[in-house]
Amino acid sequence: MADERGSDLDIVVDGPLESDGGQVLHETSSGDPSLHPSVKSLLEAFPDEVQRHQLTAGDQWVVWVGPERIHEILTWLKEDGAQAYDMMSDVTGVDYGGGRPVEVVYQMFSTTHGRALRIRCPIPLETMETDSVYDLWKSADWLEREVYDLFGITFNGHPDLRRILMPDDYAEGHPLRKDFPLRGRFSRAEQTRRALTQNVERFYSTEDLKSGEPQEVEVAERSAAPVNTSNDVPGSHLNGEGL
């Protein structure tokens, strides 16, 4: 039911509410780093780079690392035999808004040692760039493209950094940023106009468009099977009479 503001959708136009800084969403603690070999080793090997560490959700260890040496640290986590994080299962981003850095989140797993580790790297809004880890884990290819597309973080050294969900010429910015309007930056009319006038050749090569044309398929001739054209109900011919 609409209130005195005129429409139920007014709250959508207003955008998201400010987060309650004191709200606790998950039980967290700093944790004893000696309980996780990699956290302990990170503190020993890179004491000036580890900003803080946290144990969350009971068993998920999180370590915050600055962007200056993030590639070096992730390389060490993969190649050091005592760490051996050979699997990069996810690379994503988090924007807290309010002028705070946008974080790149790396979720890793060591199949050798059977343990997980999450690295969070705060990226200053003034730079919005960091080094790609594609050279370390090929799984980071599309994952980094998604973060670039939706958050606007540039991954230096990525072999093919371009949008992966939005069109290449998408002009409204990065949809998962907190400053992105819920209805987009353009009016509905302008969004509709752009959708109706887009040229599909922007997204598909000539070969792709040709492959989309109907194809003629040759059907091998088969010997015709006897077909009963009678309208009789099955079995009615046995006595020559209809039912």
| Ordered DSSP codes for 224-237 | PPP-----SPTTGG
Range 133-152 average pLDDT: 98
The predicted model scores a pTM of 0.72
| Residue 194 confidence class, pLDDT cut points 50, 70, 90 | confident
C-alpha to C-alpha distance for 243 and 237, rounded to whole angstroms: 10
Residues contacting 56, CB < 8 A, separation 6+ = 26, 27, 28, 62
C-alpha to C-alpha distance for 188 and 194, rounded to whole angstroms: 10
| Residue 61 confidence class, pLDDT cut points 50, 70, 90 | very high
Range 181-199 average pLDDT: 86
| Residue 36 confidence class, pLDDT cut points 50, 70, 90 | very high
Would you state the structure tokens that stand for residue 146, as one six-digit string? Answer: 């998604």
Domains of the chain (ranges plus CATH)?
26-165 (3.30.460.80)
